[in-house]
Structure 1
Amino acid sequence: MDTPSEAWLSDPQMLRAMAHPLRLRILGSLRVDGPATSAILARRLGTDSGQTSHHLRFLARYGFVEDDPAKGRGARGRERWWRAAHEATRWSDTAAGPEGAEVGRAMDGAVRRMWDDAVGAYWSQVSRDEWSAQWRAVAGGGDGVLRTTPERLEQLRSDIWNLIRDADNPDAGEGSETVFVVFQAYPYQTGAK
């Protein structure tokens, strides 16, 4: 995809609008599953094409999705194919002004619920023995704590995103799967100093 790699959300209105669960799922599906019409997205997401169409227009207004010229308009010229305009989305509450913490929390909450759903789906698939032992051995999460500066944390974030991009191999072939990687880094203060 010849697109900028990241979209930055900094406007409070935009953050609030993107915190909508269906908009997040639509954007995620276009990134993971590829271009689609509103009808295809409705089937993928278990909703109706009227809802997906409405939210697609909204996402397009803010530049998160765009027409996919490779797909055209279909045989009868009526289908509108959409694709994600960016590979990733980042947001910061600092640029969102006085209501930044409120909208940042709303966005984080909506995205975390979406990630939780994806992890839950993985564990449901594991319980049905749908993943090989090899995939189960490498899948998982973890956490760690480090002491650093804002500048070094930004460098770490950049390095991690570069590692993710470098590891992406759309032509990996047989045995390859789509993998989602979640990265969070927040400063933490204990109750006592």
Structure 2
Amino acid sequence: MASIPEVDALRALAHPLRMRILGSLRIDGPATSALLARRLATDSGQTSHHLRVLNRHGFVLDAPELGKGARGRERWWKAAHDTTSWPDDPGELGPGGADVVHALDRAARRVWDEVIESYRAQAARGEWSPQWQAAAGFGDYAIRTTPEQLTALRTDLRRVINEYDRGEHADDTETVAVVVQAYPYRPAR
């Protein structure tokens, strides 16, 4: 896991396509800008630009060990870290922290929505078995709790999720996006 980046680096990451590029490098493996463009249904000019921004802030690295291609022009990239985190309390980031955490949250929600829509389109085309379709889904729960209990709940959920991700890969394993959100809510009065 990367240490908590500076506000400027997090601001650079707070872009949906940059988050998708970084996620693809982490999950799908190293790639060129052209390969990323195909993976993410965009163009290599955009991916090249965003890769340079991510590189400038330490999120991605050149991967010259993967070769340069037949003409010596391919530039391979890899993720610099397995994960990136930032404090839940934006005040810990200093000036601009609240704005950048809000931008990161907004960009992440867009990426998560795209992941869900992609799954739904694939399922509609029959690309997922009935077992996977029955296993996938979401839910929401309204609970009454204290800040301390909510912190404990989130810690417990991370522990449970980590227990299911032991690195054991049977033939029928797939990568699964698990999104946990827990925010206080007050109804409009």
State if a TM-score over 0.5 links the two structures. yes
Pairwise CA distance, 1:170: 4.9
Give 2:63's match in structure 1, choosing from 45, 68, 91: 68
Does residue 178 in structure 1 map to residue 175 in structure 2?
A: yes
SS at 1:130's partner residue? coil
Give 1:134's match in structure 2, choosing from 127, 131, 135: 131
* Aligned twin of 1:101: 98
* Aligned twin of 2:25: 30
CA–CA distance in 2 between the matches of 1:187 and 1:172? 37
Aligned-residue CA RMSD (Å)? 2.6
Give 2:146's match in structure 1, choosing from 104, 128, 148: 148
* Aligned twin of 1:88: 83
CA–CA distance in 1 between the matches of 2:5 and 2:180? 17
Does residue 20 in structure 1 map to residue 15 in structure 2?
A: yes
Per-residue deviation, residues 2-21 of structure 1 (Å, max 9, x unmatched): xx3x553551x333221222
Pairwise CA distance, 1:85: 2.0
* Aligned twin of 2:41: 46
Is there any run of 5+ residues in structure 1 with no aligned partner, and where? none
Question: Residues 81 and 167 from structure 1, CA distance in 2 versus in 1: closer, same or farther, beyond 3 angstroms?
Answer: farther
CA–CA distance in 2 between the matches of 1:164 and 1:81? 31
SS at 1:91's partner residue? coil
CA–CA distance in 2 between the matches of 1:7 and 1:94? 17
Per-residue deviation, residues 109-139 of structure 1 (Å, max 9, x unmatched): 1111111111112122222232222112211
Give 1:157's match in structure 2, choosing from 154, 159, 166: 154
Aligned-residue identity in percent: 55
Question: Residues 43 and 138 from structure 1, CA distance in 2 versus in 1: closer, same or farther, beyond 3 angstroms?
Answer: same
CA–CA distance in 1 between the matches of 2:6 and 2:146? 24
CA–CA distance in 2 between the matches of 1:69 and 1:162? 36
Pairwise CA distance, 1:87: 2.5
Structure 2 letter corresponding to 1:168: D
Pairwise CA distance, 1:70: 5.0
SS at 2:84's partner residue? strand
SS at 1:42's partner residue? helix
Pairwise CA distance, 1:108: 1.2
Kindly indicate which of the two structures has a greater share of residues assigned to strand.
1
CA contact (8 A) 2:13 2:104 kept: yes
Which residues of 2 match residues 112-131 of structure 1 at below 5 A? Answer: 112-131=109-128
CA–CA distance in 2 between the matches of 1:132 and 1:172? 18
